[in-house]
Amino acid sequence: MKCVLLAAALLCAFSTAAPAACGPETLGVSRVLPVGTVGGGEVGLKTYPQTLALQPGEVVLTFDDGPSPGHTEKVLDALAAQCVKATFFMIGSNAAGAPALAARVAREGHTIGYHSMTHPTMRGMAFERARADIENGFQAVDKAVFGKAGERPRQPFFRFPGFADTPQLDAWLASLDVVIFGADQWASDWEPESPDTELKLILARLEKSKGGIVLLHDIQPRTVAMLPQFLQELKKRSFRIVQIVPGPGPLETQPAPPGWTSETNRIIDKQRTRQH
């Protein structure tokens, strides 16, 4: 109950301060969405047949793989200039290597999530080894961001490297009341594309899907370069930013459209075929 009241107080403080700090010319945050985590669950249409209960035109910005000195600072500056909040899924080893930068992400009001300790592909790994890597990531991120770590993660959001989950790991995370995040759209910023190409690609995808959970990487120079214009374009095209935060109760989702299939599984299966 104390955690719920604290979360409500923080949300109230945020909603009260945001209008005074952010003018109408900025993109801003249209609303803060508490995501229930009791019993865990999975969201993100690239991998799962359900996603967050967003309205058409709403966008959740997420960044993977940081913190990355020289890059994450510029991402934070670009977000601050537009009064936007995002979710950062941090790699434990990167957070341990740049604790001040990891702590800055949280200090500036962004949501923290976990992305394992060393970013291995966990589908095909032994369960105990994969769980240890996730747990080590929890510990490293919590120490960097919050100054200490406990037996359980401080934040209930996790994203698998490459979205490569397993039923056993999913069940274990659910037992910890951790929600697993995929994505609804990605910018393909791991490809050797120019910032302009990346910008056009993700905008076209968002126009088609009418929003959703977006995957970007704060370690990628091309994403850092295109981000200010991307945020401006979201404003021009009337997209609205939603910040996700941990909330009470179970996860609420909306189902995938008819004919849905997992793009993640197709990609992973194709990679396995090439390897053999």
**Is 64 annotated in the active site?**
yes
Distance between CA 239 and CA 120 in Å, rounded? 34
- Return the CA Rg of the chain: 18
List 181's β-bridge partners, or say none: 43
Interatomic CA distance for residues 6 and 107, integer angstroms? 16
Specify the pairing of strand 240-247 against strand 31-36.
parallel
Strand (E) or helix (H) holding 247: strand 240-247
Active site (annotated) includes residue 77: no
Sorted by sequence, the CB contacts under 8 Å of residue 146 that are 6+ apart come out as: 103, 106, 154
- Catalytic pick from 64, 65, 177, 218? 64
- Per annotation, catalytic residue among 71, 110, 115, 217: 217
* Residues 211/49, Cβ–Cβ less than 8 Å: no
Which residues does the annotation mark as catalytic? 64, 217
